[in-house]
Amino acid sequence: MAVGGAGAPESGRSLADLEIEFVRSSRRRRTVSARVQGNRLIVQVPAGLAPSEEQEWAERLGSRILRAQRRRTLNSDRDLERRAQELNARYFAGRLRVADIRYVTNQNGRFGSCSPGRATIRIADRVAAMPTWVRDAVLVHELAHLEEANHSARFWKLANAYPLMERARGYLMAVGLDDGSDGSDGAE
């Protein structure tokens, strides 16, 4: 995945791409576990579960594994960090300190979040598949929160240094990721 690069990344494998295989343990084991091997999702379940329960476990554990794989893939090349530093240099004169920035898969409808106190930024994995100029806008938005926690006039003055900010907000609104508030720690 390249934030500044050309192609949008694959959205990753979904559960439907995997063949589910149940291993039923006859021992009195109450734990359920799962692993992905090639294109198979192997789910170990205690014997005696209803098929619908087995299926539920497969879906729950399988999607958790796929999300973790997706996070690893997206964060493996540290491109997000590199891009954030480029934008820091260009729009904030390089004065921001970012302790940690990474993609996450649990933003639940938000495009990102920032904890100014800890100098950490989280970006929704959905953003990875968006055009570069939108991703940059999201990064600048969260970077601006490092200096201004609230969506104040001062915040927008910082954020709007990025020339396509308004257009990017329109884009994010259209895909349902901008309701005017992201997950930043606002009042902190």
Name the residues that contact Zn ion, by CB under 5 A. 182, 184
Nearer to Zn ion, 34 or 172 (CB): 172
Residue showing the smallest CB distance to Zn ion in the complex: 182
DSSP 83: H
Nearer to Zn ion, 136 or 182 (CB): 182
Q: Give the span between the Cα atoms of 152 and 143, in whole angstroms.
A: 14
| Smallest gap from residue 174 Cβ to Zn ion (A) | 18
Nearer to Zn ion, 57 or 184 (CB): 184
| Smallest gap from residue 114 Cβ to Zn ion (A) | 7
Environment class of 48 (CB within 10 Å of its CB; exposed 0-12, middle 13-18, buried 19+): exposed
| Smallest gap from residue 186 Cβ to Zn ion (A) | 8
Q: Give the span between the Cα atoms of 19 and 64, in whole angstroms.
A: 16
Nearer to Zn ion, 102 or 151 (CB): 151
Torsion over CA of 116, 122, 126 and 129, rounded to 10 degrees?
A: 90
| Smallest gap from residue 145 Cβ to Zn ion (A) | 6
| Smallest gap from residue 141 Cβ to Zn ion (A) | 6
Nearer to Zn ion, 18 or 114 (CB): 114
- β-pairing, 33-37 vs 40-46, is antiparallel
Phi, psi of 36 (to 5 degrees): -105, 130
